[in-house]
């Protein structure tokens, strides 16, 4: 029969799967369910190898679980709203809906070509009214429950384009199109009350043993529950409060009440009511506050900006040292959203405070003494001391460790009536308003007499207009009078639609529930959701470790409280794959260039990249996460066109553990392709002539059972690279047994090989299965079992070390006791010869591992 030709075999088997409707998932209480899900893609229009890696992993899990007898749900859909469609519209005049629809069509066919075991009948796209209409219904339920509300939030404002920008669109503090200096501006925004679930979300992490530790740590840090102190500093009599609100003093929050004696200033955020009040009375303060607002809204931008301060002239009293006056500053590094929007600064023990104190010549008083340091000479200069130690220079706190000092300071403040211990979260409510036209419209109506009126359920979905007009700056929805102007559902007077749309993270916070019955006339089919949820294995990029996963966990709990879901955690198993990175290439003009357009030469270790078309030298940039915007994507089709889809699937899962980032290179893909050919050759060479059993059959059986066990465990543990390595070994072992083992034994081995390779190279596996004379699809075949008796090893080779260096080895029965190994080693003539008369001081035996002789 000759070589295996993927070009012929692969389309054939994909058609066979479609014909058999092999991957349809049906509600079936009689079978154990398994829900395998990969994070649904944004339809950028082109699949890259990062996608391929993601979906190949999920597919291995889905096919493996099917073979193990589960009723598997493995759906696919599109995260179809978002900024790129709007950018395409503004740049090239393409309609976002058409652009998105075309991209989905292109990516769907690319995904289908990967041969994924997906139930395509459940496909959904978040930009379809059938999806976002149900989302609007969910939003209204949250609104009713008080979990959705409006408040002021900060946005990046581009004063030239008169528009709100995404953080991504702010580059070095300037708008990416206009180049104007961006400022933070307050806008009325819809928020979801995720903070109401802060404790639950934090404590729920403990019930997710199927999540990577690092993701749980990141979420824990993100929620950032801290126990600290809110305390109020009384205004000094000589500087009375400038506003009635401050007559009771200035409240701050701190997580370090132990360092109160080291306080040398107070600082309020530029957005603090005090700063705003002072700005009203002083042009200079107003100018300063304005200056602080330059730049974007992101925490990174705020924290890395140069520290700016303004001394208000106000003074407050220190709670423990009545004679001490502390100045009150306005400082740009204080965040209004966190704590009280005001802090006390202790420069010796906080780097930000120290930077600020140095710049404005404020006192630096150390109050925590590191262990072993001399209180007479310990000073803090350029670097704040944040480690452990004992309190000094701190009155009644002297001698206490940090935790004891915190408790003591809090109880003293409480007894003085100046404040109380408090729990504060870093987590803030989730701002979901977007001033963008390509998103889910927020289903409310603003009426001048009735206020905010929810759109009645019977009027849902609130559809986006058929055409969006991008000819003006700002939000096309706000310009579309015909769309915007409606009658108030309550009083019937003229009213206006909300023109904000929902953050696309809302779309992705419940799609996994919609997949359980994507055509239901209710947002969520409670019965289907109860059967299929939670997702047993969720696979996606580690870049979603915090936001998407936290939002989805939050919405799941909110919907549980609405009795729409019966679970509190949506994803019991989570696997975060590493990112696939690739070098970036840029022309001198700054334009990004795709890898396929570039040729790399290497001269004496120096790599030079040139454009294939013109020979122009292009700049080689650092490897970064593949993204369409930087054009550093590589298409899986580049491999599949040459070697077939199975080789591409196998290759993207080879070599590297799935959770690691990998720098993309296609060198080595030939290895995957050769494996497939070698595997096929074994099946192709299978002769049906009966043969007597051979004494070597047992050896091949042992190899087979060990391989099946190892591969099964590797897949269960998400070590796909190890599983593939074992498949390489297994196929080599079968080949080596060709002349020794009988045909019967080799048939058994090959039957196992076909089934263990099927999750990785499903097309080839079908071809091999048919070659063995099987008439059903391997997609329906059960996973091979292994016999524990054939798996055990009865002998071990232990390395023998003398003084930590390997000097020989010894063969012992598996499980041999330390005493027995010691006796055998000491009796071994080769070992004793190497001792050269040294006296043995100690013998260390690690059973089944190693022996070390300590000798002198």
Q: What is the SS3 assignment for 238?
A: coil
Distance CA 297, CA 301 (A): 7
Q: Which of residues 5-44 bind RNA (CB under 7 A)?
A: 41-42
**Closest of 105, 123, 122, 116 to residue 46, by C-alpha:** 105
**Closest of 747, 539, 658, 660 to residue 65, by C-alpha:** 539
> From its phi and psi, is residue 396 left (phi > 0), alpha (psi between -120 and 50) or beta?
alpha
Q: In whole angstroms, how close is the CB of 662 to RNA at the nearest point?
A: 4
Is there binding between residue 208 and RNA (CB under 7 A)?
A: no
716, two tokens: 């269960």
Is there binding between residue 472 and RNA (CB under 7 A)?
A: no
Q: In whole angstroms, how close is the CB of 66 to RNA at the nearest point?
A: 26
Q: Which of 23, 55, 64, 81 binds RNA (CB under 7 A)?
A: 81
Q: What is the SS3 assignment for 348?
A: helix
Residue with Cβ nearer RNA (155 or 348): 155
Provide the CB-side half-sphere exposure for 551 (13 A, CA): 19
- Residue 254 β-bridge partners: 229
**Closest of 764, 769, 770 to residue 751, by C-alpha:** 769
Q: Which of residues 492-511 bind RNA (CB under 7 A)?
A: 503-505, 508
Q: Which of residues 327-386 bind RNA (CB under 7 A)?
A: 337, 351-352
Q: In whole angstroms, how close is the CB of 665 to RNA at the nearest point?
A: 4
Q: Which of 436, 705, 709, 770 binds RNA (CB under 7 A)?
A: 436
Q: Which of residues 787-806 bind RNA (CB under 7 A)?
A: 797, 799, 801, 803-804, 806
Is there binding between residue 299 and RNA (CB under 7 A)?
A: yes
Cα-to-chain-centroid distance, residue 198: 19
Q: In whole angstroms, how close is the CB of 621 to RNA at the nearest point?
A: 8
Helices (H), ranges, 612-696: 636-643, 645-653, 669-684
Residue with Cβ nearer RNA (185 or 291): 185
Options 186-194, 445-453, 631-639, 688-696: segment touching RNA (CB under 7 A): 186-194
Q: Which of residues 553-582 bind RNA (CB under 7 A)?
A: 579, 581
Is there binding between residue 473 and RNA (CB under 7 A)?
A: no
Provide the CB-side half-sphere exposure for 76 (13 A, CA): 26
Residue with Cβ nearer RNA (270 or 784): 270
Q: In whole angstroms, how close is the CB of 294 to RNA at the nearest point?
A: 16
Q: Which of residues 729-788 bind RNA (CB under 7 A)?
A: 735
Task: Return the exposure string of 551-579: e unless at least 16 CB atoms fall within 10 Å of the residue's CB, then b.
Answer: bbbbbbbbbebbebbebbbbbbbbbbbbb
307, two tokens: 């520290």
Q: Which of 172, 200, 207, 624 binds RNA (CB under 7 A)?
A: 624
Is there binding between residue 809 and RNA (CB under 7 A)?
A: yes
Q: In whole angstroms, how close is the CB of 486 to RNA at the nearest point?
A: 23
Options 104-112, 242-250, 423-431, 635-643: segment touching RNA (CB under 7 A): 423-431
Options 63-71, 273-281, 291-299, 415-423: segment touching RNA (CB under 7 A): 291-299
Contacts of 760 (CB under 8 A, 6+ apart): 56, 60, 646, 649, 650, 653, 720, 723, 724, 727
Q: In whole angstroms, how close is the CB of 137 to RNA at the nearest point?
A: 22
Q: Which of 22, 94, 180, 187 binds RNA (CB under 7 A)?
A: 187
Q: What is the SS3 assignment for 324?
A: coil
Q: In the sheet where 444-447 sits, what is the strand order?
A: 451-454, 444-447, 494-497, 485-487
Residue with tokens 């927020």: 442
Options 47-55, 298-306, 466-474, 829-837: segment touching RNA (CB under 7 A): 298-306
Is there binding between residue 625 and RNA (CB under 7 A)?
A: yes
Q: End-to-end CA distance of the chain, in Å?
A: 67
Q: In whole angstroms, how close is the CB of 516 to RNA at the nearest point?
A: 21
Q: Which of 6, 50, 58, 82 binds RNA (CB under 7 A)?
A: 82
410, two tokens: 């809090």
Is there binding between residue 213 and RNA (CB under 7 A)?
A: yes
Distance CA 145, CA 490 (A): 20
Q: In whole angstroms, how close is the CB of 818 to RNA at the nearest point?
A: 11
Q: In whole angstroms, how close is the CB of 674 to RNA at the nearest point?
A: 4
| Omega before 378 within 30 of 0, i.e. cis | no
Distance CA 33, CA 482 (A): 48
**Residue count, binding to RNA (CB under 7 A):** 101
| Beta strand pairing call for 368-369 and 390-391 | antiparallel
* 224 neighbors 426 (Cβ within 8 angstroms): yes
Options 412-420, 425-433, 457-465, 488-496: segment touching RNA (CB under 7 A): 425-433
Options 78-86, 308-316, 357-365, 374-382: segment touching RNA (CB under 7 A): 78-86
Beta-strand ranges (E) seen in 492-579 are 494-497, 501-502, 537-541, 574-577
Q: Which of residues 665-724 bind RNA (CB under 7 A)?
A: 665, 667-668, 670-671, 674, 677-678, 681, 719, 721-722
Is there binding between residue 294 and RNA (CB under 7 A)?
A: no
Distance CA 706, CA 842 (A): 36
Is there binding between residue 180 and RNA (CB under 7 A)?
A: no
Is there binding between residue 433 and RNA (CB under 7 A)?
A: yes
Q: In whole angstroms, how close is the CB of 779 to RNA at the nearest point?
A: 28
Residue with Cβ nearer RNA (482 or 604): 604
Is there binding between residue 543 and RNA (CB under 7 A)?
A: yes
Q: In whole angstroms, how close is the CB of 543 to RNA at the nearest point?
A: 4
Q: Which of 45, 242, 474, 623 binds RNA (CB under 7 A)?
A: 623
Residue with Cβ nearer RNA (412 or 428): 428
Is there binding between residue 188 and RNA (CB under 7 A)?
A: no
Q: In whole angstroms, how close is the CB of 558 to RNA at the nearest point?
A: 14
**What own/partner pairs with CB < 8 Å and gap ≥ 24 does 128-134 have?**
128/80, 129/461, 129/463, 130/461, 131/507, 131/511, 131/514, 132/81, 132/440, 132/441, 132/461, 132/507, 133/460, 133/461, 133/462, 133/463, 134/461, 134/514, 134/522, 134/523, 134/524
Q: In whole angstroms, how close is the CB of 314 to RNA at the nearest point?
A: 27
Options 406-414, 592-600, 638-646, 660-668: segment touching RNA (CB under 7 A): 660-668
Distance CA 484, CA 468 (A): 12
Q: In whole angstroms, how close is the CB of 25 to RNA at the nearest point?
A: 24
Is there binding between residue 426 and RNA (CB under 7 A)?
A: yes
Q: In whole angstroms, how close is the CB of 511 to RNA at the nearest point?
A: 11
- Contact letters (x/-) for RNA, 153-172, by CB under 7 A? --xx-------xxxxxx---
Q: Tell me phi and psi for residue 690, to 5 degrees.
A: -65, 145
Options 11-19, 113-121, 311-319, 432-440: segment touching RNA (CB under 7 A): 432-440
Give the Å distances, CA to CA, from 644 to 636, 676, 761: 10, 10, 10
Residue with Cβ nearer RNA (304 or 614): 304
Residue with Cβ nearer RNA (379 or 849): 849
**Closest of 634, 515, 556 to residue 79, by C-alpha:** 515
């Amino acid at each position: 029969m000759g070589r295996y030709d993927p070009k012929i075999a692969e389309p054939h088997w994909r058609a066979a799967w479609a014909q058999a409707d092999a991957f349809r998932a049906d509600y079936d209480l009689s079978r154990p369910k398994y829900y395998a899900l990969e994070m649904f893609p944004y339809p950028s229009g082109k699949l890259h190898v990062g996608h391929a890696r993601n979906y190949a992993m999920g597919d291995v899990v889905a096919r493996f679980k099917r073979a193990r007898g589960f009723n598997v749900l493995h759906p696919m859909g599109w995260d179809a709203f978002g900024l790129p469609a709007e950018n395409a519209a503004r740049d090239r005049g393409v309609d976002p809906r058409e652009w998105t629809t075309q991209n989905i069509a292109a990516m769907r066919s690319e995904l289908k070509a990967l041969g994924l075991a997906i139930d395509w009948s459940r496909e959904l796209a978040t930009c379809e009214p059938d999806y976002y209409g149900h989302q609007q219904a969910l939003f209204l339920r949250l609104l009713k429950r008080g979990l959705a509300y409006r408040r002021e939030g900060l946005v990046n404002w581009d004063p030239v384009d008169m528009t709100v920008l995404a953080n991504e669109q702010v580059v070095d503090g300037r708008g990416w199109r206009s180049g104007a200096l961006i400022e933070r501006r307050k806008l009325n925004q819809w928020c979801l009350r995720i903070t109401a679930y802060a404790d639950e979300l934090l404590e729920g992490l403990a019930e997710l043993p199927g999540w990577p530790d690092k993701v749980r740590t990141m979420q824990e840090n993100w929620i950032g529950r801290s126990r600290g102190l809110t305390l109020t500093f009384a205004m000094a009599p000589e500087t009375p409060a400038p506003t009635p609100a401050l007559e009771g003093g200035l409240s701050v929050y701190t997580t370090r009440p132990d360092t109160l004696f080291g306080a040398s200033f107070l600082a309020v955020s530029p957005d603090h009511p005090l700063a705003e009040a002072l700005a009203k009375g002083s042009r200079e303060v107003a100018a300063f506050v304005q200056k602080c607002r330059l730049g974007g809204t992101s925490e990174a931008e705020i924290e890395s900006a140069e520290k700016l301060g303004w001394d208000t002239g106000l003074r407050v009293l220190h709670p423990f040292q009545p004679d001490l006056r502390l100045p009150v500053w306005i400082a740009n590094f204080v965040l209004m959203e966190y704590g009280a929007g005001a802090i006390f600064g202790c420069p010796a023990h906080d780097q930000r405070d120290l930077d600020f104190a140095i710049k404005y010549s404020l006192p630096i008083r150390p109050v925590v003494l590191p262990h072993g340091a001399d209180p007479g000479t310990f000073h803090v200069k350029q670097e704040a001391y944040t480690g452990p130690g004992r309190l000094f220079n701190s009155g009644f706190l002297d001698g206490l460790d940090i935790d004891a000092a915190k408790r003591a300071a809090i109880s003293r403040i409480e007894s003085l009536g100046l404040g109380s211990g408090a729990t504060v979260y870093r987590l803030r409510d989730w701002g979901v308003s977007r001033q963008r036209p390509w998103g889910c419209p927020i289903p409310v109506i603003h009426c001048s007499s009735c206020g905010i009126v929810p759109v009645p359920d019977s009027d849902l979905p609130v559809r986006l207009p058929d055409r969006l007009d991008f000819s003006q700056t700002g939000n096309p929805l706000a310009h579309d009078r015909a769309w915007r102007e409606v009658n108030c559902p309550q009083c019937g007077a003229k009213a206006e639609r909300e023109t904000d749309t929902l953050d696309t993270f809302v779309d992705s916070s419940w799609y996994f529930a919609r997949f359980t019955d994507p055509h239901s006339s209710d947002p969520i089919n409670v019965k289907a959701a109860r059967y299929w949820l939670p997702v047993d294995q969720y696979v996606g990029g580690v870049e979603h470790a915090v936001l998407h996963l936290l939002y989805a966990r939050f919405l799941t709990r909110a919907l549980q409280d609405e009795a729409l879901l019966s679970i509190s955690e949506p994803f019991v198993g989570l696997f975060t794959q590493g990112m696939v990175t690739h070098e970036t290439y840029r022309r001198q003009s700054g334009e990004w260039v795709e890898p396929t357009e570039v040729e790399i030469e290497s001269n004496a270790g120096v790599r030079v990249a040139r454009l294939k078309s013109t020979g122009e030298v292009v700049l080689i940039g650092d490897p970064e996460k593949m993204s369409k915007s930087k054009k550093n994507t590589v298409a899986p089709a580049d491999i599949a066109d040459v070697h077939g889809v199975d080789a591409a699937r196998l290759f993207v899962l080879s070599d590297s553990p799935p959770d690691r980032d990998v720098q993309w290179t296609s060198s080595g893909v030939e290895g995957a392709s050769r494996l497939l050919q070698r595997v096929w050759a074994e099946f192709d060479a299978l002769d049906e002539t009966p043969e007597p059993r051979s004494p070597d059959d047992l050896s091949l059986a042992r190899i087979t059972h060990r391989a099946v066990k190892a591969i099964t465990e590797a897949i269960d543990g998400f070590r796909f690279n190890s599983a593939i390595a074992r498949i390489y070994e297994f196929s080599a072992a079968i080949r080596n047994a060709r002349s020794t083992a009988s045909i019967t034994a080799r048939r058994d081995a090959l039957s196992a090989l076909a089934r263990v390779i099927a999750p990785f190279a499903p097309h080839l596996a079908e071809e091999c299965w048919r070659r063995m004379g099987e008439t059903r699809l391997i997609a329906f075949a059960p996973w091979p079992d292994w016999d524990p008796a054939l798996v055990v090893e009865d002998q071990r080779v232990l390395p023998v070390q003398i003084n930590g260096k390997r000097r020989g080895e010894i063969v012992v029965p598996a499980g041999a006791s330390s005493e027995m190994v010691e006796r055998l080693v000491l009796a071994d003539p080769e070992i004793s010869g190497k001792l050269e008369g040294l006296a043995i001081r100690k013998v260390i035996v690690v059973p089944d591992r190693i022996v070390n002789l300590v000798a002198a």
